[in-house]
Structure 1
Amino acid sequence: MSDLTLAPPPPDLLAGASLFLDFDGTLVEIADSPDAVEVAARVPALLQRLARALDGRVAIVTGRPVAEVRALLAPAAWPVAGSHGLEIAQVDGTVTAPDRPPALDAVLDAARALARSHPGLLVEDKPFGVGLHYRRAPEAGEEAAALADDLAAAHDLVVQHGKMVVELRVKGRDKGAAVDLLMAEPARRDTRPVFMGDDVTDEAGFRAAHALGGAGVLVGAPRDTAAGYRVDDVAAALAWLDTLSPAQEAR
């Protein structure tokens, strides 16, 4: 883990790199609910420019389902590792994913029962997980976390904490595993990974990038992290990505 005085990423960090981008809190501002997020018009255009500059080596790595990210960024398409890497979608729309375990239905019922007693607590039904968002009901955070722990133990699931959310998800992969899988593909194999993200769920991506000779870029306030660089917020992240140099464009 690093100290809390990380420098901003250098202008040439993406030279010869493969770029992996978290979505919420990195490319778009976090909203009160997942379906309230707004994608600025500049974001798809920026991603297209980055993909051209990096010979297509740009991928989204997110906790959101693949289908949601594809819809939010339509009509353009990029490789997406969704559901914390459990879903891998290629540009042509091919998606590889495991079967959804029936246990998630019981988890979903229990989460909705808790939400009925806490107005504002939002239950998110994902293909391979269930999220309890307590941004609108912060008093329910401890109870949501305790329920998640109990359900994870009962159904052999993973508990994932994020910004005002606790999620139960299927075991097997995280964002670091997604980076490893995508970096094994021929187009990326001889490049360095750069992973940009804001949340604790992105730490696995930072660690994987570092292990493969690349780097992580934290988006947000200073904290203990495996990232090697930091920018202040979404606006700063987009501004840095937008400074791709002509030399890099020519690669």
Structure 2
Amino acid sequence: MPAARPPEVGARQAFFFDVDGTLLEIAATPSGVRVEEALIATIRRLHERTGGAVAFISGRNVADIDALFPGLRLPIAGQHGLERRDAAGALHHHVPQGVDWPGLKARIHTAFSDVEGLLLEDKGLSLAVHFRQQPALEGRVAETLQRLIAGTGDAVKLQPGKCVLEVKPAGRDKGTAIAEFMNEPPFSGRKPVFVGDDTTDEYGFRVVNEMGGDSVKVGEGKSAARWRLDDVQAVHDWLADILTASGR
């Protein structure tokens, strides 16, 4: 189990943050989240303090995160690493190979078109089926999606999350995204710190642990992370303490 609050950090860290459930409280729908100006200011100050070594690592797409955090335009890994904007602003996309991706997404939409209480979120390179409003539908959603992707072999996988199942190309996750960032400036040569709350973040925790970094789990539950923060507010308080200690 993860230990208590993360230790104090120094000047040579690289920070990676999940968004929903870590920096932002989870809402009933992805569009329902609220971003306070104080949080944007905190992230901006941390970005300045680290010489730009701060990135978002999220299941959301890059454009969605930019809209949530106007004016920041940080490095971002979106859709669990399927798209990534590096610190120089270059975009990297990992397009599904050997799969009729538009056709698969269309079949998923058709399969759930008459099911109330589900929200289908087409992110471009992945498709999420949210059942937060009807948790009892989880089994039906999982069974249907497994059937629909059965013909894709190992090219497509189901990614579970909090009240969501996501259909995405295999081979990319939050861990691979962090590893790519850590091979590039301004992240390379620094100690990685990754903060996340969901099962999708476990990939990132394991990679950061292998690099000798600090992995931080937000909330309850078994995790590979080395440290723990209780909730979103605890993350905000921890970030404020980091900036206070640095005198910025």
TM-score bracket, normalised by the shorter chain, equals: over 0.9
Look up the match of 1:174: 173
Select between 162-171 and 239-248 the one with higher mean Cα deviation: 239-248
Distance 1:249 1:56, change over 3 A: farther
Q: 1:139 aligns with which of 136, 140, 162?
A: 136
Look up the match of 1:197: 196
Look up the match of 2:53: 57
Mapped partners of 1:31, 1:136: distance in 2: 11
TM value normalised by structure 2 = 0.92
Decide whether the 8 Å contact of 2:218 with 2:231 is kept in 1.
yes
Q: 1:119 aligns with which of 90, 105, 116?
A: 116
Q: CA deviation at 1:91?
A: 4.6
Code of the residue aligned with 1:133 in structure 2: it is H
Q: 1:233 aligns with which of 220, 231, 234?
A: 231
Q: CA deviation at 1:48?
A: 0.5
Mapped partners of 1:246, 1:237: distance in 2: 14
Code of the residue aligned with 1:201 in structure 2: it is T
**Any residues of structure 2 matched to 1:152-171 within 5 Å, and which?**
152-155=149-152, 156-171=155-170
Mapped partners of 1:172, 1:196: distance in 2: 22
Mapped partners of 2:192, 2:34: distance in 1: 27
Mapped partners of 1:181, 1:125: distance in 2: 25
Decide whether the 8 Å contact of 2:26 with 2:33 is kept in 1.
yes
Decide whether the 8 Å contact of 1:161 with 1:200 is kept in 2.
yes
Residues 186-229 of structure 1 show CA distances to partners (whole Å, capped at 9, x for unaligned) of 322211100000000000111111111102100112x2111011
In the alignment, structure 1 residue 69 sits paired with structure 2 residue 65: yes
Residues 30-86 of structure 1 show CA distances to partners (whole Å, capped at 9, x for unaligned) of 111111111122121111011111111100001111111011111221000111111
Unaligned runs of 5+ in 1: none
TM value normalised by structure 1 = 0.91
Unaligned runs of 5+ in 2: none
Question: For 1:49, what is the secondary structure of its paired residue?
Answer: helix
Code of the residue aligned with 1:151 in structure 2: it is L
In the alignment, structure 1 residue 129 sits paired with structure 2 residue 109: no
Aligned length: 245
Code of the residue aligned with 1:227 in structure 2: it is A
Q: CA deviation at 1:100?
A: 5.4
Mapped partners of 2:94, 2:207: distance in 1: 22
Mapped partners of 2:226, 2:160: distance in 1: 22
Mapped partners of 1:108, 1:212: distance in 2: 36
Mapped partners of 1:92, 1:215: distance in 2: 25
**% same residue:** 36
Look up the match of 1:220: 219
Output the aligned Cα RMSD: 1.8
Distance 1:121 1:246, change over 3 A: closer
